[in-house]
Structure 1
Amino acid sequence: MASNKRVILITGANSGVGYDTSHILANASADNHVIMAARSETKGRKALLEIEARKPAGTLSFLELEIASVDSTKAATVQLAVRFDAIDVLVNNAGIYSHDAPVSREHLQEVFNTNVFGVLLLTWALEPLLKTSVDPRIINVSSSLGSIALWMDKSIREYHVTGEVYRMSKAALNMLTASMAYQYRTWEHPAKLWA
């Protein structure tokens, strides 16, 4: 796609925060092209059609991506490199939340594979396309539940919410974001990062 559009990739875009973010950013400007990435092609394409029916100002496309799968990430990266000159904005939104699951090695692996390692591997894979942007931005969708300070304060709501594995993954994602910000500051066009 020609570089006259701001290309925005949003993972987990078929529902929730990813869906709403896709709609808002597609509607924000005719210059925006939003790539809605989802692991389910059926759900992802349905979400895309729903947003297109609202006649947003910008354009949309769909990308099948299971962020916890290295093979899926590689395949998606190849497709993106063929279709786009740059990725201007990466919104790492895909995530797993399970509030009542007991802490176990298997559960830790499942949640961290999506919420942390998937984010890291996708971002690494997209570095060449992000570096091509004159204003690269990376948003890693985190949560106040990943805050150690809030977890320790018994007087606030976050103290009483369960989901220790999710909390751990979001705390790790916060530090990953800080690490990426430090590393990507040296790019020709330094990336801006948020969590």
Structure 2
Amino acid sequence: MDSSKTIVLITGATGGIGFETASLFATIPSYHTIIGARSVEKGEKAVSEISSQKPQGTVSFVLIDVTDDTSITAAASTIAEEFGRVDVLINNAGIISRAPSLRAQLRETFEINTIGAAVVSQTFTPLLLKSSKAKMINVSSGLGSISQTLDPKNPYYKSPAEAYMMSKAALNMLTAYDTARLGDQGVKVWSFCPGYVVTGLSGTGEKGIQERIARGAKSPKESAEGLLAVVEGKRDADAGKFYTEGWGF
């Protein structure tokens, strides 16, 4: 591996925003993108699909389940052995729980959206600190904004997504905490709101996707472009913040 390449790890990168971001980054010769996924089959398929487009950059897969500490540690060891560092960590893995009770929804949602991101961030910190240009991006949501949740003019006011909203608010605190923890060591951290986009996150299948499009949802490719802008230093002034400019909410 060319040591001059920017090493990017994206969790939950087999679909939606994660996959489109990996696809976009793979078009850049100086990037090596690592697709993080908890399914070997889906991870290898994503690498195959991107590779079939004959990208100028390079791409690989690492098995990582953000709900499993052993899996996270093993992924960090694999990446450390192969690349020696991580330049960019994008905590993208996330869900909207459809569990039958609020307690179950909270547990399932926080486990992936918040706890998983926190443990991944902590575990990969030593690899980020080996980079001279370390960046960590937590893919958040305007639904996690307390001020916007209290704003009756917000189009998502009183959205029935209690567990998801709470998990993203906690993720924003993780951004603040890691900014304080790592900022003086050269690691820049953001919460990035991708806006209202077409993904399978809701778990409602093709019908849900079409409903999102009808309500004005954008392509996840636009979100990927926003993430690239952050990685390329165009949003360094927003480091440590909840970045939403131009992406909805």
TM-score (norm 1): 0.93
Amino acid at match of 1:179: Y
- CA distance in 1 between counterparts of 2:117 and 2:53 reads 30
Alignment of 1:31-180 (within 5 A): 31-98=30-97, 102-104=101-103, 106-180=104-178
Alpha-carbon contact 1:3-1:86 (below 8 Å) kept: no
- CA distance in 1 between counterparts of 2:101 and 2:149 reads 18
Alpha-carbon contact 1:99-1:163 (below 8 Å) kept: no
Alpha-carbon contact 2:98-2:105 (below 8 Å) kept: no
Partner secondary structure for residue 183 of structure 1: helix
- Provide the residue aligned with 2:188 in structure 1: 192
Q: For 1:77-131, what per-residue CA distance to the aligned partner results, in whole angstroms no more than 9, with x for missing partners?
A: 1111111121000000001113685421x32122111111111111111111100
Amino acid at match of 2:40: E
- CA distance in 2 between counterparts of 1:131 and 1:155 reads 42
The structural deviation recorded for 1:160 is: 4.2
Identity %: 41
Alpha-carbon contact 2:145-2:169 (below 8 Å) kept: yes
Q: From the superposition, tell whether residues 167 and 147 of structure 1 become closer, same or farther in structure 2 (CA, over 3 Å).
A: same
Partner secondary structure for residue 159 of structure 1: coil
The structural deviation recorded for 1:48 is: 1.3
The structural deviation recorded for 1:154 is: 2.1
Alignment length (residue pairs): 191
**Please, which runs of 5 or more residues in structure 2 have no aligned partner?**
192-249
The structural deviation recorded for 1:133 is: 0.3
The structural deviation recorded for 1:155 is: 2.3
Q: For 1:31-51, what per-residue CA distance to the aligned partner results, in whole angstroms no more than 9, with x for missing partners?
A: 100000011111111111111
Amino acid at match of 2:74: A
- CA distance in 2 between counterparts of 1:148 and 1:175 reads 11
Alpha-carbon contact 1:2-1:85 (below 8 Å) kept: no
Answer with 152-161 or 18-27: which moved more: 152-161
Partner secondary structure for residue 87 of structure 1: coil
Alpha-carbon contact 1:116-1:169 (below 8 Å) kept: yes
Cα RMSD of the aligned pairs, angstroms, is 1.4
Alpha-carbon contact 2:97-2:105 (below 8 Å) kept: no
Alpha-carbon contact 1:115-1:169 (below 8 Å) kept: yes
Q: From the superposition, tell whether residues 155 and 100 of structure 1 become closer, same or farther in structure 2 (CA, over 3 Å).
A: farther
- CA distance in 1 between counterparts of 2:189 and 2:100 reads 31
Q: For 1:26-70, what per-residue CA distance to the aligned partner results, in whole angstroms no more than 9, with x for missing partners?
A: 11x211000000111111111111111111210000011111111
**Please, which runs of 5 or more residues in structure 1 have no aligned partner?**
none
Partner secondary structure for residue 8 of structure 1: strand
